[in-house]
Amino acid sequence: MLEIKNLHAVVEGEDIEILKGVDLTINKGEIHAIMGPNGSGKSTLSKVVAGHPEYEVTKGEILFEGEDITELDADERAHLGLFLAFQYPVEVPGITNKTLLRESYNTIARSNGKEELDPLEFEDYLKSKLEIIDMKDSFLERSINTGFSGGEKKKNEVFQMAVLNPKLAFMDETDSGLDIDALKIVADGINKIAGGENAIVLVTHYQRLLNYVKPDYVHVMIDGKFVKSGDRKLALELEDQGYDWLENKTMVNGEAQ
Amino acid sequence: MSETEALESMIGEEYKYGFSTDVEYEEFPKGLNEDIIRELSARKEEPEWMLEFRLKAYRGWKEMVEPDWFNATYEKPKFDTLQYYSAPKNKPKLDSLDDVDPKIRETYEKLGIPLEEQKALAGVAVDAVFDSVSVFTSFKEKLAEAGVIFCSISEAIQNHPELVKKYMGSVVPARDNFYAALNSAVFSDGSFCYVPKDTICPMELSTYFRINNMNSGQFERTLIIAEDNSHVSYLEGCTAPMYDEHQLHAAVVELVALENAEIKYSTIQNWYAGDEDGKGGIYNFVTKRGACRGKNSKISWTQLETGSAVTLKYPSVILQGDNSVGEFYSVAVTNMRQQADTGTKMIHLGKNTKSTIISKGISAGNSDNSYRGEVKISKKADGARNYSVCDSMLIGQTCGAHTFPYISSENPTASVEHEASTSRVGEEQIFYLMQRGISEQDAISMIVNGFVKEVLKELPLEFATEANALLNVKLEGSVG
């Protein structure tokens, strides 16, 4: 589904390379976790895949279902079925969650030649997704993320993801800043959305979330590259030993040397 | 023309009202003196008291100094080369639409303001002011049935002198300020509305102002009186052709609300704003003030200011009657080289008077946008309350937003609350919405519409769509 080949990226207009040759393949239905210390480039990778204008790809390519999307705008990538759950969801005062989601849903449907939902149908559809994050109807009428608590913002990202049902979602530190109850709700939500053909990439610092959402693969990013990949056990190892033992290692044939 | 078509035709790419109409003018020599004023008054066959009002204002104006405390820099109007009266030659006696110069009728058609009643927006009566004179007022008869008088101010001076004499200058005195004094001396026309006791005006009233002539200033005068237990909603719209020279628009609007009366006054101002280098455009120097004279009366100003090179305008309410309410809802948008210094004054005199100010400024391009507001609570205004919110939004890096709130309270039982914020439409906000599949342009208009929603919902429904679309056109391509 997603194939990233030798991806290099810089902040637009600057020389400093943040991604230094990333390779990643994700297939339908898989759950991947990307872990790594602060500043390793995890969040950047999510944003570059989503098409953030702040970054420039200097080398390599991103293929989504075989199509090169490296030059596409963020909205065009969203139409293809790519979703990013933001680490810091943005406030947009005066526009309700419901308005945004209806606009999003219908725009994406239209660009895929699918039927749009009228306001009443959409309302029913939205309400059916609310239980996933354990929120009340009034949540729909609130302005996007405006005055939301940290936990509500993260739940809103999961909710939006459930509504838009993307083929591939990058979830950028959706677990950070959540108390244990909120974490469980968010993890539950992710588990409900995952499965089937949808693929999910969890970008996280901590192993904590992985107790609730079981990834098929775990990748460790250090200094703009993956230095080690493995299964869920790798996450547990990291929890024991930290990232130090992986620093300065490079990857050859999928194994740290 | 359906409502939607009418609205759509009012909205265009760029500034689509920039055309001019080739009509013959009856003109005055340039410059101003007492003879010109006498001639103007004579030509309009005005009574003696009206001439006296004008001369008194003129003599006051001559002694006044043009103010310069605004947060705007511009070349001062050259008052001695301005033309103070300009009327289309074929001005009819306003009895029948057939008498209106076809070219002028066409102009209003093009602007999307059909004067024929059968083509009008549902439930909206129009007074069309072309340069200095009112050319037509629709639905007069229907309004008359309800007892509502809606006509040009010139007609009102002829036909309802007792009302005009009683109220004109009672809210904005002839020598109130430099531009109001000038207007009082030379005003040529404008709208007049009188709603009798216990009457709800059955239609939305609107005046459509059009400056056509290149060298003339426009000085119109609007007077609205709402008697006890009455209600009226009024909207003004404004456009002008694109000329390289600045043109002056110095209007005066006076509102009087008596006991339990309510006046809702809305403005959609889209005068020509000048070009990208600041060449041309309208100077919009307007005095608007309402008096809540009666108990429980209410005056509410809603404005969407998108045009003009320079706007200096502070629609105000004097809250005289106990329990009276004043409201000011404003969206001021500036782009290119536009400068706007606008806001309101709420003067609390009566007990338990209440005022609300919601101001939203949006600056883009190289423009400057200032909110200037005064809340004054006098000694006797026990229990007075004010709530103000002034939010500014910046689009791009080269524009400015400023807030100048003045608050004074002489009564310890009063409460005044002021909030202000400034935000920038950021890349992050746009990216967030685009990631959800929304195009960049739609993302910007969503952000802007969300920002001004609170204010635009105060506009009469008939005009809300127009207002939204106007806003989007105005800011098109301002983020790139």
Instruction: Give residue-wise pLDDT tens across range A152-163.
Output: 999 999 999 999
> Which residues of chain B are within 8 Å of residue A80 when distances are taken between CB atoms?
none
Query: Cα–Cα distance between B465 and B278 in angstroms, integer?
Result: 29
pLDDT category at B135 given cuts 50, 70, 90 is: low
At residue B11, the pLDDT reads 33
Query: Cα–Cα distance between B234 and B264 in angstroms, integer?
Result: 6
Apex B218 CA angle, B327 and B346, nearest 5: 20
At residue A223, the pLDDT reads 92
pLDDT category at B368 given cuts 50, 70, 90 is: very high
> Which residues of chain B are within 8 Å of residue A101 when distances are taken between CB atoms?
436
pLDDT category at B396 given cuts 50, 70, 90 is: confident
pLDDT digits (tens, 9 = 90+) for B345-356: 999 999 999 999
Q: What is the dihedral of CA B191, B138, B90, B189, to 10 degrees?
A: 0
Q: Is B370 helix (H, G, I), strand (E, B) or coil?
A: strand
Beta strands in chain A (DSSP E): 2-11, 17-26, 31-35, 55-64, 67-68, 82-85, 92-96, 143-144, 168-172, 199-204, 217-222, 225-230, 251-252, 255-256
> Which residues of chain A are within 8 Å of residue B450 when distances are taken between CB atoms?
92-95, 143
Widest distance between CA atoms in chain B: 69
* B 130-169 → A contacts, CB under 8 A: none
At residue B480, the pLDDT reads 44
> Which residues of chain A are within 8 Å of residue B447 when distances are taken between CB atoms?
92, 95
Q: Higher-confidence residue: A122 or B11? A: A122
Tokens of residue B289, six digits:
């003030």
If one counts every other C-beta atom within 10 angstroms of the C-beta of residue A127, the result is: 11
> What's the average model confidence in pLDDT over A86-92?
93
Q: Is B350 helix (H, G, I), strand (E, B) or coil?
A: coil
| Interchain contact B424–A (C-beta under 8 A) | no
> What's the average model confidence in pLDDT over B386-399?
91
At residue B50, φ and ψ (nearest 5 deg) are -70, -40
Query: Taking Cα atoms as reference points, which of B369, B347, B334, B357 lies closest to residue B475?
Result: B334
Question: What does B70-104 look like in DSSP terms, one character per residue?
Answer: SS---PPP-TTT-B--EEETT---SS-GGGS-HHH
| Interchain contact B442–A (C-beta under 8 A) | yes
List of residues 6+ apart from B398 with CB closer than 8 A: B365, B366
Query: Cα–Cα distance between B345 and B330 in angstroms, integer?
Result: 13
Whether A58 and A10 have beta carbons less than 8 Å apart is answered as yes
Of all residues in chain A, the one with the smallest CA distance to B457 is: A94
Least confident of A55-59, B199-203, B212-216, B311-315: B212-216
Domain A2-234 has CATH 3.40.50.300: yes
* A 132-151 → B contacts, CB under 8 A: 143
pLDDT digits (tens, 9 = 90+) for B137-177: 777 788 889 999 998 899 999 999 999 999 999 999 999 99
Least confident of B31-45, B252-266, B282-296: B31-45
Angle between helices A97-111 and A150-164 (to 10 degrees): 30
At residue B131, the pLDDT reads 61
- Tell me the percentage of chain B whose pLDDT exceeds 90: 50
Least confident of B17-31, B67-81, B120-134, B406-420: B120-134
* A 59-88 → B contacts, CB under 8 A: 73-75, 77-79, 83-84, 86, 88
At residue B245, the pLDDT reads 74
At residue B108, the pLDDT reads 66
B301: pLDDT strictly greater than 90: yes
* C-alpha separations of B300 from B82, B256, B266 in Å: 34, 12, 8
Mutate to test the interface with A, among B436, B453, B456, B479 (most CBs of A within 10 A): B436
> Which residues of chain A are within 8 Å of residue B435 when distances are taken between CB atoms?
50-51, 74-75, 77-78, 83-84, 86
Single pTM value for the model: 0.81
pLDDT digits (tens, 9 = 90+) for A100-154: 999 999 999 999 999 999 999 999 999 999 988 888 888 899 999 999 999 999 9
Query: Taking Cα atoms as reference points, which of A231, A232, A174 lies closest to residue A46?
Result: A174
Kindly give the pairing relationship between strand A55-64 and strand A2-11.
Answer: antiparallel
The residues pairing with B354 across neighbouring beta strands, listed in sequence order, are: B325, B385
Q: Higher-confidence residue: B259 or B94? A: B259
Query: Cα–Cα distance between B444 and B374 in angstroms, integer?
Result: 32
If one counts every other C-beta atom within 10 angstroms of the C-beta of residue A239, the result is: 13
Of all residues in chain B, the one with the smallest CA distance to A79 is: B437
Q: Higher-confidence residue: B426 or B411? A: B411
B21: pLDDT strictly greater than 80: no
Tokens of residue A172, six digits:
């950028």
A185-189, A192-196, B59-63 — most confident range: B59-63
Least confident of B38-47, B204-213, B354-363: B204-213
Q: Is B141 exposed, middle or buried (0-12, 13-18, 19+ CB in 10 A)?
A: exposed
Q: What is the dihedral of CA B168, B458, B206, B307, to 10 degrees?
A: 90
Write out the H or E segment, with its range, that includes residue B176: none
Q: Is B391 helix (H, G, I), strand (E, B) or coil?
A: strand
Query: Taking Cα atoms as reference points, which of B209, B189, B51 lies closest to residue B132?
Result: B189
pLDDT averaged over chain A?
90
Q: Higher-confidence residue: B119 or A49? A: A49
DSSP B198: T
At residue A214, φ and ψ (nearest 5 deg) are -90, 110
At residue A133, the pLDDT reads 83
Tokens of residue B417, six digits:
């609350």
The residues pairing with B423 across neighbouring beta strands, listed in sequence order, are: B393
The residues pairing with B284 across neighbouring beta strands, listed in sequence order, are: B249, B311
Query: Cα–Cα distance between B166 and B295 in angstroms, integer?
Result: 20
Apex B194 CA angle, B188 and B199, nearest 5: 160
pLDDT digits (tens, 9 = 90+) for B193-234: 999 999 999 888 888 777 666 666 778 899 999 999 999 999
> What's the average model confidence in pLDDT over B380-388?
97
Query: Cα–Cα distance between B465 and B265 in angstroms, integer?
Result: 17
Of all residues in chain A, the one with the smallest CA distance to B445 is: A95
B65-79, B267-281, B306-320 — most confident range: B306-320
Least confident of B181-185, B370-374, B425-429: B425-429
- Tell me the percentage of chain A whose pLDDT exceeds 90: 71
pLDDT category at B2 given cuts 50, 70, 90 is: very low
Whether B196 and B148 have beta carbons less than 8 Å apart is answered as yes
A98: pLDDT strictly greater than 80: yes
Query: Taking Cα atoms as reference points, which of B68, B67, B40 lies closest to residue B55?
Result: B40
Q: Please give, rounded to a whole number of angstroms, the shortest distance from the CA of A56 to a CA of chain B.
A: 15
> What's the average model confidence in pLDDT over A15-33?
94
The residues pairing with A63 across neighbouring beta strands, listed in sequence order, are: A3, A68
Q: What per-residue string of b and e applies to B401-425 under the rule 16 or more CB within 10 Å gives b?
A: bebebeeebebeebebeeeeeeeeb
Least confident of B10-14, B212-216, B334-338: B10-14
Query: Cα–Cα distance between A240 and A251 in angstroms, integer?
Result: 21
> What's the average model confidence in pLDDT over B91-105?
62
At residue B331, the pLDDT reads 93
Q: Higher-confidence residue: B25 or B371? A: B371
At residue A164, the pLDDT reads 95
Q: What is the CA radius of gyration of chain B?
A: 21
Whether B312 and B287 have beta carbons less than 8 Å apart is answered as no
Least confident of A27-36, A80-89, A231-240, B237-246: B237-246
Mutate to test the interface with A, among B425, B435, B456 (most CBs of A within 10 A): B435
> What's the average model confidence in pLDDT over A46-70?
95
Q: What would the 3-class secondary structure string for B179-194 be?
A: HHHHHHHHCCECEEEE
Residues B171, B175, B180, B181, CA torsion sign? positive
Mutate to test the interface with A, among B424, B433, B454, B456 (most CBs of A within 10 A): B433
> What's the average model confidence in pLDDT over B358-383?
94
